Structure 1
């Protein structure tokens, strides 16, 4: 890659590795629904005007059904589940479990007829990754709620399925329009819940700073930078950040929040990363002819 490509890659590896830390901080002063509204509203306020100026919104609204499904599975459901889970488990554990996205994507695309998912390397990666997730859940079950870990795994399912919907049903809709309209729709949907659960007192400065960082940096700026990374390096290379984000989340959790490096993380972390890498290797030329793995999944997987 070019120097610009490496710079964008490094920025995205950090930007989408830090949300777990700032979610943990923000939840000290606001509720999970209020945080979803705040983050999506900030992102929408920046991205929607850009999409409007480029004339992307009106054509995108014609595909409102798949757009709604994408918004629910990519943002509306996962961000609430992730916020709720991080009130009970460490940010590093949440970041690690999200690394299961490529594994889930491999399973889903196989069920949808992607024969390249049967490649021996991908199957081996899937098996190793599942063992890694099982190790994390099993060895940390005494110190973390299985229910909350299950919530994060549901987030991984949403992050894997939503891009498939976008690729199959929203191919003609610009990605910026999909993201900006999704953020806007989710923000509007969460207004009632956010009002009911709004904080009784003005949050502390660190909470406000975390919310602003999530909205400005981890949502609006992240998507804009990621679009440039894809244009510079291509979707396949860009997807490698999925393997680095969890490492950033684990390191920040231990350094900033004094989170413990548990046995589950020690055993499961390398297995999940190895499995994810193997399960997303390129197919052979013959296999790629029948490959239906969505390109957009490679673009936005592990987002957030």
Structure 2
């Protein structure tokens, strides 16, 4: 891998891993749905400005129904669920649980696309599930109802990513990645907007909270998409997908450095098992086509 591509890969992992710290810091002031809406709407504005110069608007309008589904599965629901969860669990825990999305994607593909569950996939799912059990075991001393709901929300969010990737693969073949990125964020904003009148913004929205929201929307969403698409073009989707292994590492690192979170033995052990399971499951597809849009979708953090 060229050194420049390696730097881009590390930057992408840092941005996507950082999203969990940004959410953890900002969600007490904004609440889950308003924070998710701010993230997708700001990202949509930036991506739309770029996409209009590259993608005909009719390409987005023609697939608006599919984009609503993708925006819901890949952004509106998982972003809101992670924001909810991080009111009760650490950014590090959320980042580690996020790495389970390839397992759900493999299961969904087996059911919906009739893709066989290979030995690698089944083994990876088993190892990853063991990692979740170890990670949850570290919360047994504080396993209140909100913590249980938060862990469940992280897993449902990861399930959404897996389902979204399969939907893209089934329905969006031939659609450009830029149209997918822009259209899905715009659709997510449309999906979340009706819920805003029924939510409460706790406040206060300090300059530091606002800075975290901007970093989340522009850095961890808009810029991250652009870097990811560049990597797919330069090194192919299989190598670009290795970012999946780095996201939990950066997510934990940012939580420790900027939020003062502690790394417990259960987090380290559970995280290692989940990452190992992901690596094993992804070995089943060493050579995917660079045009496979499910790759683009599956890492929409």
* TM-score normalised by structure 2 residue count: 0.91
Structure 1 gap segments, 5+ residues each: none
The residue number in structure 2 matching 1:72 is 72
* 1:219-267, Cα deviation, whole Å (9 max, x unpaired): 1111111110111111000011111100111122122212222343132
Deviation at 1:282, TM superposition (A): 4.0
* 1:63-118, Cα deviation, whole Å (9 max, x unpaired): 23222211110011111111011111111000000010111112222223112x32
Deviation at 1:196, TM superposition (A): 4.6
Distance 1:248 1:46 in 2: 25
SS at match of 2:89: coil
Distance 2:47 2:217 in 1: 11
The residue number in structure 1 matching 2:96 is 96
Q: Is 1:302 aligned with 2:275?
A: no
Q: Is 1:113 aligned with 2:120?
A: no
Deviation at 1:181, TM superposition (A): 1.6
Aligned residues: 296
Deviation at 1:45, TM superposition (A): 0.8
Distance 2:2 2:150 in 1: 41
Structure 1 segments, 4+ long, off by >4 Å, are none
Check the 8 A contact 1:67/1:170 in 2, yes or no: no
* 1:28-55, Cα deviation, whole Å (9 max, x unpaired): 3211111112111111111112222324
Check the 8 A contact 2:71/2:185 in 1, yes or no: yes
Distance 2:266 2:226 in 1: 35
Match of 1:225 among 224, 227, 230: 227
The residue number in structure 1 matching 2:159 is 157
* TM-score normalised by structure 1 residue count: 0.90
The residue number in structure 1 matching 2:133 is 134
* 1:179-220, Cα deviation, whole Å (9 max, x unpaired): 212211222333343355364766111101100101111111
Distance 1:2 1:162 in 2: 30
When residues 200 and 25 of structure 1 are mapped into structure 2, their CA distance, relative to the original with a 3 A threshold, is closer
The residue number in structure 2 matching 1:170 is 172
When residues 9 and 201 of structure 1 are mapped into structure 2, their CA distance, relative to the original with a 3 A threshold, is closer
Distance 2:190 2:122 in 1: 41
Distance 2:140 2:58 in 1: 48
Note the aligned Cα RMSD (angstroms). Answer: 2.1
The residue number in structure 1 matching 2:268 is 266
Aligned pairs (5 A) from 1:221-260: 221-260=223-262
Deviation at 1:178, TM superposition (A): 1.7
The residue number in structure 2 matching 1:56 is 56
Structure 2 gap segments, 5+ residues each: none
Q: Is 1:181 aligned with 2:183?
A: yes
SS at match of 1:190: helix
